[in-house]
Amino acid sequence: MNCMNCGAFLTDSDLDYCPNCGYNVLIQKKVDYLSKSFYNQGLEKASIRDLSGAIACLKQSLIYDKRNIKARNLLGLVYFETGEVVSALSEWVISKNLQPTRNLAAEYINKLQANPNKLSAINETIRKYNHALLLCREGHEDMAAIQLRKILAQNSKLIKGYHLLALIQMKNREWNKARRTLKKAARIDKTNTTTLRFLREVDEQTGVTTRLEKQKKGLFRNASNRRPDTDADSGEMVVQAPVYRERNRISLFVILMSGIIAGAGAFWLLAVPAIRQNIYSEANQQIVQYSESLASQGAELSKAQGEAKESGDTAEEVTQQLTTEQAKSQSYEALMTAYLYYQQQNLDEAALSIQKVQVDVLTDSMKSIYTTIRDATGVAGIGDSEGPQTQDGNSDEENYEDTGYDDYYDEYDESYE
């Protein structure tokens, strides 16, 4: 603490006067003492989540000494815990202006500003809360309740939001919902007067007393959680010491083995049938899939075989057609070549060419040309059963017999003898 007259530093050992200027600092010391005392009370209340009481004590501390940096920073933290971020920022900004260096308020502000998404979400919840309050004043409680539920989902520490939502539920005579909402608010601030007043109204309407403290349930409790017994005669509190009982190792082993056996039996009775059923179902599914796959593959194979057979028949027909056309082409070409030789009076070459002609593939007009060349050359083509004709209409064998060659052969044989 510094002297308010000259600014000299004052210690607790100093008297009621400033050692530097001699100014009377008794009242200043008392004010500083009261400010620190209210700060300590506020710190104790904040540690047990009595936030309303902490706010009252810290405000009183700042009334006595507005430069109490610790009290102002703690007040900002309490405001932030109750969801009033704007008030918390105001206190931290004032604290930073009063003490620019070595101040935790700067760290708090930097942490809050480092996450702009969270800060914008908090600002949005405050704006929506004001809009919900306006809807309540206009008589639209249902829309306000929906808006408040969204607000509390984003900012679960806004006590004013719980109060307003509980008030709407109380107006709609939804007492159980109002009790649950107020319990959530009491977890944040245990001694908030508005919360306690609303809970008392709910208790009077329902006839059921609300218990804010959760009782621990369970078979095993520590000795520290037990309430001390009271001696009826002396009225003094008597704490019973916990009793330690040593268990036998054999009994522990028996209990352990029985537990293992029971677990194995339960697993065999419950888990093994389910596992078998799953295995059987998976096997049946695989068999069905394999059957479907085989059926589809058989159908595809039959289809492919049919297509292959059709392709083979088509290929055979095409081959036959090609062979026929090739024979026609060769016969036509040989006939034309023979005809050219015939016109040139070259009967030898015409005879060679006419032998390559296949008579069955010729047309009627071509057969007449073929007949003319065949009769002229005396050579027949392929597939000609009639053979060449002479001028008197007889064949070569008949003409051969009429020439008297047999007598010639007889004379030749006799002369040879």
Q: For residue 14, is it within any domain?
A: no
Which CATH number goes with the domain that contains 84?
1.25.40.10
Residue 395 is part of which domain span? 331-405
Per-position pLDDT tens, the chain of length 417:
666 556 555 665 555 666 656 555 667 778 778 888 889 998 988 888 888 888 889 999 988 888 889 999 999 998 888 888 888 888 999 999 988 888 888 888 888 888 878 778 878 888 888 898 898 888 888 998 998 998 888 888 888 889 999 999 999 989 999 999 999 888 888 888 888 888 898 888 888 888 776 544 443 444 344 443 433 333 333 334 344 344 556 777 788 888 888 888 887 777 777 787 878 788 778 788 877 877 887 788 878 887 777 777 777 888 887 888 787 788 888 888 888 888 888 878 878 888 778 777 778 777 788 788 888 877 777 777 666 654 444 444 444 444 444 444 454 444 444
Same domain, 107 and 143: no
Same domain, 131 and 193: yes
Q: For residue 103, is it within any domain?
A: yes
Q: For residue 384, is it within any domain?
A: yes
Q: For residue 297, is it within any domain?
A: no
Domain boundary at 152, 183, 206, which? 206
Domain boundary at 89, 114, 139, which? 114
Nearest to 57 by CA among 87, 77, 35: 35
Same domain, 155 and 201: yes
Domain boundary at 182, 206, 230, which? 206
Q: Are 319 and 326 in contact (CB under 8 A)?
A: no
217: tokens are 């349930």
Cα distance between residue 89 and residue 106, in whole Å:
10
Count of domains observed in the chain? 3
Q: For residue 417, is it within any domain?
A: no
Q: Identity (one letter) of the amino acid at 89?
A: L
Same domain, 161 and 100: no
